[in-house]
Amino acid sequence: MDFDMGGDAEALRKQLRGLVATHVPDDFLGAFTDNPADLELAQSFCRLLADEGLLCMSWPREFGGRGSSVWEQTVVREEMWAHHEPRGAQYMGVNWVGPTIMRHGTPEQQRTHLPPIARGEVIWCQGFSEPEAGSDLASLRTTATRDGNGWRINGQKIWTSYATMAQWCFLLARTTKVGEGAATRKQQGLTIFLVPMSDPAITVRPIRAMLGPHHLNEVFFDDLRVTEADVLGTVDDGWSIVADVLSFERLGIARYARCDRLLHMAPRVLGDRWDVLPAELRGRWARMLTHCRRARLLAYRLVSLQSEGRVTPTDVAAYRIAVTKLDQDSAEVLMELAAEISDDNAGGATLFRREVEDHWRYSQAATVSSGSIEMQRILLSRAMLGSKR
């Protein structure tokens, strides 16, 4: 299988790797650690990418992009994720918040929100999951009720990444109860709001986890006052926007790129030890490289479909299943390989161990993040069974 994107893409890949090598320390493992310097480094690097015109390459020029191809943006995704996402939380704004506002936002919302994202100056968080409404998102209980010319929002969100540092929240709330008005199904009567996290009616409580600080939080909304200008799209029709969001989000992270990079590092780091590893372990290593290719091919197919406006939730579910399994299966193989490294191994053995451990921790969360793998399987199976009727 030929994955060559041409000379322009390779030049871009070389440029991105050069910027990472120059501005990102070798031991950088992501922005969201106990060291505040890691977040500041990511914010600085994100602004650097924006200044170089590399942050939102495929965005239209009128929204702060370069009008580049989706394949050039794919190169950016791959290189950033392979190197522990030195853009920090900006991938959320770049990959799906911005494109969703382009598609559904008013001109005023586009003028307000898109330029700061394109400049790398703002962090967004996603107010979707709730207690008892994670995979079954449409069962959420956060409500937005009419109040004069605006709305008052009350409720709780959970597992909200980056809420402690975000300036804005992409919030889903129920505006019409099921059984009232035109809302006959739980997917109806939901609305998206764009709300500032600085409002005193919002309280954030961090949830400590093995992923490190900033990733998981509880967010409480106590009589949060918003206006009609904060509504994205049409009132009560938020579920149609959610479908777009999930497609952008699940495709926007090139998880296979980090798996591929770490797997290719292993023989070099192990050195002579590689030749005496059990054949079964090396066989599993080779199988994981094959699975990286499979996930990459699936991603490229979806990038092509998405650029033509033809991607479906079923297509994305198949990719999500493949890349989640790749994350977890490759992490197990890499942990076994890392255990084979002796203390006197040269070639960055200590850093390799740290990178592998970090990858393993993330892989455990991959099963439930961005929609559980069980829900993706249900979605895919329903589509396959339905096509045979």
Q: Are 50 and 119 in contact (CB under 8 A)?
A: yes
pLDDT tops 90 at residue 258? yes
| CA gap 204, 213 in Å, rounded | 13
pLDDT at 19: 97
Confidence band of 8 (pLDDT split at 50, 70, 90): confident
CA distances from 277 to 152, 311, 335 (A): 62, 43, 14
Give the list of residues 6+ apart from residue 374 with CB closer than 8 angstroms, or none.
135
**What would the mean pLDDT of 240-249 be, rounded to a whole number?**
79
| Alpha carbon separation from 208 to 100, 212, 215, 372 (Å, rounded) | 30, 7, 8, 20
Dump pLDDT digits (tens) for 23-60: 999 999 998 888 889 999 999 999 999 999 999 999 99
What are 133-189's pLDDT values in tens digits? 877 889 999 999 999 989 999 999 998 989 999 999 999 999 999 999 888 999 999
Tens digits of residue pLDDT in 71-102: 899 999 999 999 999 999 888 899 899 999 99
Highest mean pLDDT among 215-219, 222-226, 268-272, 292-296: 222-226
Q: Is 108 a catalytic residue?
A: no
Q: Greater confidence, 25 or 314?
A: 25
Fold that domain 126-237 belongs to in CATH: Butyryl-CoA Dehydrogenase, subunit A; domain 2 (2.40.110)
Q: Is the pLDDT of residue 351 over 70?
A: yes
For 236-278, where are the alpha helices, taking DSSP H only? 238-252, 255-270
List 78, 249, 308, 340, catalytic entry: 249
Q: What angle do CA 61, 64, 70 make, to 5 degrees?
A: 65
CA nearest to 167, candidates 197, 209, 138, 207: 197
Closest CA to 123 of 192, 27, 198: 198
Q: Determine the average pLDDT of the residues in 58-72.
A: 91
Q: Which of 302 and 20 is assigned the larger pLDDT? A: 20
pLDDT band for 302, please (50, 70, 90 cuts).
confident
Of residues 25 and 384, more confidently modeled: 25
Over 60: is that where the pLDDT of 387 sits? Answer: no
Q: How many CB atoms lie within 10 A of CB 385?
A: 9
Q: DSSP readout, 172-207? A: EEESS-TTSTT--STTSSEEEEEEETT-TTEEEEE-
What is the separation, in whole angstroms, between the first and last Cα of the chain? 34
pLDDT at 256 over 60: yes
Sign of torsion, CA 253 102 116 172? negative
Selected residue with higher pLDDT from 384 and 146: 146
Q: Give dist(CA 39, CA 86) in Å, integer.
A: 9
Give the residue from 189, 208, 340, 337 showing the smallest Cα distance to 263: 337
Which CATH number is associated with domain 254-387? 1.20.140.10
| Best-predicted range by mean pLDDT (88-92, 154-158, 209-213, 365-369) | 154-158
| Residue owning tokens 């501005």 | 23
pLDDT at residue 344, rounded to an integer: 61
CB 87 within 8 A of CB 49: yes
- Please check whether residue 203 is in contact with residue 259, taking contact to mean a CB–CB distance below 8 angstroms: no
Q: Which of 212, 387, 382 lies closest to 313, judged by CA?
A: 382
pLDDT at 121: 94
Alpha carbon distance 20, 26 (integer Å): 9
- Across all residues in the chain, what is the average pLDDT? 89
CA 275 to chain centre: 37
The number of residues making up the chain comes to 389
In this prediction, residues 188-195 reach a mean pLDDT of 97
**pLDDT > 70? residue 252:** no
**Which residues make Cβ contacts (< 8 Å) with residue 172, sequence separation at least 6?**
127, 128, 137, 140, 142, 190, 191, 192, 193, 238, 242
What's the token pair of residue 250? 């699940």
**Local confidence band at 280 (pLDDT 50, 70, 90 cut-offs):** very high
> What is the per-residue DSSP string for 324-376?
HHHHHHHHHHHHHHHHT--TT--SSHHHHHHHHHHHHHHHHHHTTTTS-HHHH
Confidence category of residue 389, pLDDT binned at 50, 70, 90: very low
* Residue 314, both tokens: 């079923």
Provide the 8-state DSSP code for 125: E
